[in-house]
Chains A and B, each alone.
Chain A
Amino acid sequence: AQKVTQAQTEISVVEKEDVTLDCVYETRDTTYYLFWYKQPPSGELVFLIRRNSFDEQNEISGRYSWNFQKSTSSFNFTITASQVVDSAVYFCALSEARNSGNTPLVFGKGTRLSVIA
C-alpha cells in the first residue's frame, strides 16, 4: 500500500526566512511519481511539481527547490526567502506508474505554512 507522511502539521516562519517542508513516502512500486500541491486559503489545488522515481536530480524553480532522496524515501520542499503569499497548506502526493498512465493520487495530510510579515 502507498502512504505519504508529512510529519509537520503546522509551521510558522517570519518573512524572508527559508523553510523546508518534509515528505516521506512508502510504496512497493519501483516506478512511481511524487508531487507537491499548494492549497491557498481560497481552497483550490495548485500543482507545483511532479518528479519521476528514476530522476533523483534536485530541482529549483525560482524560490522553490525540491530534494528527492530515494535512499530515505523523502521528497522535501524548500522555500527560500519566504513571502506572505506563500502562506498555504502544502500537500505531498504519490502515484504509482502504470501502463495506462492514469492512477489515483495518494496525498499526505498536508503542512500548513504561515509566513508572518
Chain B
Amino acid sequence: EPEVTQTPSHQVTQMGQEVILRCVPISNHLYFYWYRQILGQKVEFLVSFYNNEISEKSEIFDDQFSVERPDGSNFTLKIRSTKLEDSAMYFCASSEDLAGKSYNEQFFGPGTRLTVL
C-alpha cells in the first residue's frame, strides 16, 4: 500500500541553523501539507501546497518557513533560522485531487522530530 514517507525521523540542530525536512508524498497525490505538533500539544496546520504554489497557510507559517517541490517526488519544508520554539514533530500529508469530491483524504507520514538546541 502506498504511503507518505519522511526523512529524517529525528533531526537535531543548533539554534539559528537552517533545516530542511523532507517528505515523499504518495505518487499520484497533488495536494501536500505540513502540520506541526509541539510536544504534548495539538497538531496544527502550517501550509498546503498545490500546483507548485502555496494554497493556504496558517499564521504560524511566517517568513522563516518555506516549502518547495524541488523535483517530481519530494516536498520539503525549510526553516531558515531555527529557534528553540521550533522544536516539534512535523508531519507531512498528501491527498489526491479528485474532481467533484467534497473531501479528499489526507494521508499522513510518520513525522520528523525536530530538536533545536
Contacts and interface: CB of A to CB of B under 8 A. Distances in A.
B73 to A, nearest CB: 19
Interface stretch (B16-24, B44-52, B78-86): B44-52
Name, among A31, A99, A107, the residue most crowded by chain B CB atoms within 10 Å (CB to CB): A107
Nearest to B33: A104
Contacts of B44: 107
B43 A33 contact: no
B56 A101 contact: no
A43 B40 CA distance: 11
A114 interface: no
B41 A109 contact: yes
Interface residues of B, number: 28
Interface extent on A, as a size class?
20 to 34
Given A43-B89, A100-B97, A105 B110 contact: no
B48 A104 contact: yes
A45 B45 contact: no
Contact of B102 (A91, A97, A105, A110): A97
B48 A31 contact: no
B55 A102 contact: yes
A42 to B, nearest CB: 8
A98 interface: yes
B64 interface: no
Interface string A48-59: 001010000000
Interface residues of chain A: helix, strand, loop or mixed (majority) = loop
B89 A107 contact: no
A68 B19 CA distance: 41
Contact of B48 (A91, A97, A102): A102
B56 A104 contact: yes
B98 to A, nearest CB: 6
Interface string A84-98: 000000010101011
A50 B45 contact: no
Contact of B43 (A31, A47, A101, A107): A107
Contact of A108 (B42, B108, B111): B42
Interface in A15-65: 31, 33, 43-45, 47, 50, 52
